[in-house]
Chain A
Amino acid sequence: DSGVTQTPKHLITATGQRVTLRCSPRSGDLSVYWYQQSLDQGLQFLIQYYNGEERAKGNILERFSAQQFPDLHSELNLSSLELGDSALYFCASSLTGSGNTIYFGEGSWLTVV
């Protein structure tokens, strides 16, 4: 158990809908990362937050957004969903940033039908 908690584990939703994925980082970790894993794209970095502030942005679509709250949990919002958004979404956390080990949650499986 990495200590990173993600909910829900699985969800199925229709195209055009909006979903929210939730992440609780490991105790004491200030950085939260979101990654998308799909068969054709591999592991893609989406976005990072550090202590409530956005620190780095990767290949995140404009339809997606995230935030980190004062209690350090994070949410990834996916809207206007398309079939191609079906993927495994990982949250990860680390103490600070570069050089620290990043620990991953078990992921949220999103299926868009």
Chain B
Amino acid sequence: AQSVAQPEDQVNVAEGNPLTVKCTYSVSGNPYLFWYVQYPNRGLQFLLKYITGDNLVKGSYGFEAEFNKSQTSFHLKKPSALVSDSALYFCALTGANNLFFGTGTRLTVIP
């Protein structure tokens, strides 16, 4: 069975510090992994995806994610957090016909 886990409901980071939002997955075969961000009262915005190739994927707004097959992880990272990065972040794994989402991690960047 395919599944995605986001072990942290909440992550707090000071502005200017690096941030990491964790995601682990379980799938048979090669995974297609995604990160989405949701700002208050808005839809989900696509940040980046891993299909194949380079394990470090660069996405929108300065975010990147590192795919680690041995640890079955796909952590989202940013070198320097902004207050405007505060939002709800979802990791997702594509199945045959849809996306399986994690439960989300609320990121708060403290000025």
Contact = CB atoms under 8 A, between A and B. Distances in A.
A42 interface: yes
A102 B43 CA distance: 12
B97 A102 contact: no
Interface residues of A, number: 23
A58 B101 CA distance: 13
Interface stretch (A14-22, A69-77, A103-111): A103-111
Interface stretch (B11-19, B45-53, B61-69): B45-53
Contacts of A107: 42-43
Contacts of A103: 46
B45 A104 contact: yes
Contacts of A50: 97
B97 A99 contact: no
Contacts of B79: none
Interface of B: 32, 34, 36, 42-46, 49, 51, 90, 94-101, 103-104
Interface of A: 2, 4, 33, 42-43, 45, 48, 50, 55-56, 58, 90, 92, 97-99, 101-107
